[in-house]
Amino acid sequence: MPKVLSEEQVTGYHENGFVTPVPVFNADEVAACRTDVEKTEVTMGEFFRGIGQTKFYLRFPWAFEMATHPKLLDAVEDLIGPNIMIYHNTAWIKEPSDDAYVSWHQDNTYFGHDPCEVLTAWIALSPATEQSGCMQFLPGSHKGGLRNLKAPDIGNGNMLSSGQNVDISGDQIDPVSVELQPGEASIHHAFLVHGSLPNKGNDRRLGITFIYHPPHLGQIGDSRTSALLVRGEDKFGMFDHEQAPVPDDDAGNTIRHEKAVTAYRGKVRELGNATVDRFD
């Protein structure tokens, strides 16, 4: 029996490559999360555009709390089982009326997990609508593994500095817009083809993602990376174990965060993604 998803939602995830919407945070919780993100932007400048774009659940206790919210982990458990590691996370912030968009891509291009039993939970901290540039998914596109790429899309507004640009011209399926209210999440498979258009609304479109996988997976390539065990146990030792951020130890959290990001970026490069300043 699944813990929070219905049997239909679990079947739908395997069939379509995503499940949405999944209610996670109540109104007070989501307001607190948005405040935490925006306070970090104010006090730390461009933090989320540099190293903070990657794995910041290791740097900030509030982000670790978000990533380990029981409702979120229950939904993840329904899809990948009781042993859960967090591999990555990022902030996807589109300002009102800016030209930021995300080209068609697959997340596992950057992770290399094999087999790809990896998923991304995208949590809305403000309304994600067609107007504000919500994600669009290509249902069922997770089934074919990694796709061929067109020439990189290096338009100024592309939030993927790799310009990853999956060729969807032969697909017969229409993209689905994934609208979310604040506090809701969508969860997608790391092979699902997805992207998003610019924000034409009046509010910021704020999304935080966490990427989860079970511990038994291997990774393409030679370099080792790390992940944080957040539920169950790891009997496999395929990833170095990360440590949750320690309240009031920003110096220690900073060191541990930077070490994990260095390993993460090493893998991204090894997989052939010569990104400039974003690694997701």
Ligand X SMILES: O=C(O)CCC(=O)C(=O)O
User: Among 62, 111, 122, 210, which residue interacts with ligand X (rule: CB under 6 A)?
Assistant: 122
- The secondary structure of residue 199, as a DSSP letter, is -
Nearest CB to ligand X, comparing residues 51 and 123: 123
User: Among 20, 53, 196, 253, which residue interacts with ligand X (rule: CB under 6 A)?
Assistant: 196
194 binds ligand X (CB under 6 A): yes
Instruction: Choose among 205, 198, 159: nearest CA to 182.
Output: 205
CA dihedral 48, 54, 59, 60 (to 10 degrees): 60
Instruction: Choose among 209, 242, 241, 257: nearest CA to 60.
Output: 257
**Smallest gap from residue 80 Cβ to ligand X (A):** 17
Residue with tokens 């596992």: 108
Nearest CB to ligand X, comparing residues 19 and 253: 19
User: Among 36, 77, 78, 107, which residue interacts with ligand X (rule: CB under 6 A)?
Assistant: 107
- Evaluate the omega torsion of the peptide bond into residue 214 and state whether it is cis, within 30 degrees of 0: no
**Smallest gap from residue 192 Cβ to ligand X (A):** 9
Q: Around Cβ 102, how many Cβ atoms within 10 Å?
A: 22
Nearest CB to ligand X, comparing residues 105 and 257: 105
List the interface residues with ligand X, window 139-168 (CB under 6 A): none
Binding mask 2-41 for ligand X (x = CB under 6 A): ----------------------------------------
Nearest CB to ligand X, comparing residues 199 and 225: 199
User: Among 92, 111, 212, 264, which residue interacts with ligand X (rule: CB under 6 A)?
Assistant: 92
DSSP string over 119-169: EEEEEESS-B-TTTT-EEE-TTGGGG-SPPB-S----TTBS-TT---B--T
